Structure 1
Amino acid sequence: MSGVIVTGPPKASAQEVQALAGYGVATVHEAMGRTGLLGTGIRPVQQGVRVAGTAVTVLSWPGDNLMIHAAVEQCADGDLLVVTTTSPSTDGLFGELFATALQRRGVRGLVIDAGVRDTQELRAMDFPAWSRAVSAQGTVKATGGSVNIPIAIGGQVIHPGDVILADDDGVVVVPRADARRTAEAAEAREHKEAASRAAFQEGELGLDRYGLRETLERLGVRYQAYGA
């Protein structure tokens, strides 16, 4: 397998990333019309952490982390490394040494559709990671791949420079061209949810606030006293 390392792709601006960084993955997913999630199989190795950054993408061969080494050189402050493989792999492609090199370059975290290891060390050094698997299985460095090309994870296409958000709920990709608009939609959704939260704290029911009694009636759902 040959490949290509693309240098200097366009990225979402730091201001756009910052505008999205304050919102949770669920909020941003909803704000984009319920799109962008990388699936339920990519899970954090830590808890209580939220990150946002611009994607540096990697396509590797299963069980081979050569292209992650190549990708480190292309990473800069504010980036987030996103790795997938040409076919399913759970081998531990990424560990503490990679994290050390990336942290030195200001990289905000890792999303990998494969395995990660050294999870205790990653947590201790505050390097966030989301992975398909945790595996101590080692890898080789023998096959070419690509860096900074479009890749797909969980049915979502990720282009280099797109915004990646990740937290305890999972990972979402925001296309670079949609970053500003999505941040505005996420802010509007936050305001709406804050109003609903205040109403629920006062005892209002979702059935009434969202007009769901009419929906139940339309669907033919009826109330019946127990034993009647």
Structure 2
Amino acid sequence: MSSVIVTDIVRADQTTIDALAVHGVATVHEAMGRVGLVGPSVHPVQQGARIAGSAVTVLCWPGDNLMIHAAVEQCQAGDILVVSTTSPSLDGSFGELFATALTYRGVRGVVTTGGVRDVVDLRAMNFPAWAGAQNAQGTVKATAGSVNVPIVVGGAIIRPGDVVVADDDGVLCVPRGEADTALTASDARVEKEAAARAAYLNGDLSLDRNDLRGVLADLGVRYVTQQEYTDGDHRRRDLDHD
């Protein structure tokens, strides 16, 4: 496909995005039916950040950050820059100067399959980043790629304008057209978990609240005393010696 920069992406409603950020990755992931996770190949470089925003996507050549420079112009307040490469590369293609430019434009953070550097500065700026590596290796600016096209980030396909949720648990993609549904399901899950939390604080067991005793029985799990377990273990050893 030819290299392009798409300039007029459609974004989800900002109120919905902000509400998804409050819920966080784990809650939204479960509410969506356990889909959309980028996975453990991308790690937070700070602790305690929880954000969501519209994805501005960047497809770069390995060892080349030219298209990140081009992508900054396409970013607006509430966005998250999401970067991948045409083949695996952990070079440090993103650093403090990019973060400074993006902060001016109101961008909430960066997610990249590659490397970030100037990590001390990024943390001091409170500019959240999730990356495949922390790596001082520099890059060139010589090869065409694309901005605002679908990209693969770990286990997720992220399209421009999709909602990206990121925190200490990882990174999640919510397709733009499913953002409202995901929020409704996440609200319901939070209510359910609040009821469960109150029950556990009162001494209830999750086995009973989630009707799991029958599952254990169906799987053949038995309750035995220590003596019964020991006697049974002895009998098994005796049979092994026969």
TM-score range, shorter chain: over 0.9
Question: How do 1:105-124 and structure 2 match up within 5 A?
Answer: 105-124=105-124
SS across alignment from 1:227: helix
Q: Partners in 2 of 1:20 and 1:46 — Cα distance? A: 20
- 1:147 offset after TM fit, Å? 0.1
* 8 A contact 1:60–1:146 mirrored in 2: yes
Aligned to 1:178: 178
Q: Partners in 2 of 1:90 and 1:181 — Cα distance? A: 35
- 1:2 offset after TM fit, Å? 4.9
Aligned CA-pair RMSD: 1.0
- Aligned letter for 2:34? R
* 8 A contact 1:2–1:144 mirrored in 2: no
Q: Give the paired residue count.
A: 228
Aligned to 1:86: 86
- 1:153 offset after TM fit, Å? 1.2
Question: How do 1:183-194 and structure 2 match up within 5 A?
Answer: 183-194=183-194
SS across alignment from 2:217: helix
- 1:155 offset after TM fit, Å? 2.5
SS across alignment from 1:22: helix
Q: Partners in 2 of 1:16 and 1:168 — Cα distance? A: 21
SS across alignment from 2:23: coil
Q: Partners in 2 of 1:209 and 1:155 — Cα distance? A: 33
Q: Partners in 2 of 1:23 and 1:89 — Cα distance? A: 32
Choose between structure 1 and 2: higher helix proportion: 2
- Aligned letter for 2:51? V
- Aligned letter for 1:15? T
The answer as to 2:178 corresponding to 1:160 is no
Q: Partners in 1 of 2:212 and 2:14 — Cα distance? A: 41
Question: How do 1:25-36 and structure 2 match up within 5 A?
Answer: 25-36=25-36
SS across alignment from 1:35: coil
- 1:137 offset after TM fit, Å? 0.5
- 1:190 offset after TM fit, Å? 0.3
Q: Partners in 2 of 1:125 and 1:22 — Cα distance? A: 21
Q: Partners in 2 of 1:79 and 1:162 — Cα distance? A: 10
SS across alignment from 1:107: coil
- Aligned letter for 1:199? A
Q: Unaligned 5+ residue runs, structure 1?
A: none
- 1:99 offset after TM fit, Å? 0.2
Runs of 4+ in structure 1 deviating by more than 3 angstroms, as ranges, are none
Aligned to 1:49: 49
Aligned to 2:233: none
The answer as to 2:222 corresponding to 1:222 is yes
- Aligned letter for 2:124? A
Aligned to 1:126: 126
- 1:182 offset after TM fit, Å? 0.5
The answer as to 2:167 corresponding to 1:150 is no
* 8 A contact 1:14–1:78 mirrored in 2: yes
Q: Partners in 2 of 1:227 and 1:213 — Cα distance? A: 22
- Aligned letter for 1:42? V
Aligned to 1:210: 210
Aligned to 2:73: 73
Percent identical among aligned pairs is 64
- 1:19 offset after TM fit, Å? 2.5
1:6-34 deviation digits (Å, cap 9, x = unpaired): 11111112122122121010000001100
Q: Partners in 2 of 1:227 and 1:95 — Cα distance? A: 62
SS across alignment from 2:36: coil
* 8 A contact 1:93–1:116 mirrored in 2: yes
1:178-210 deviation digits (Å, cap 9, x = unpaired): 001100100000000011111111111111110
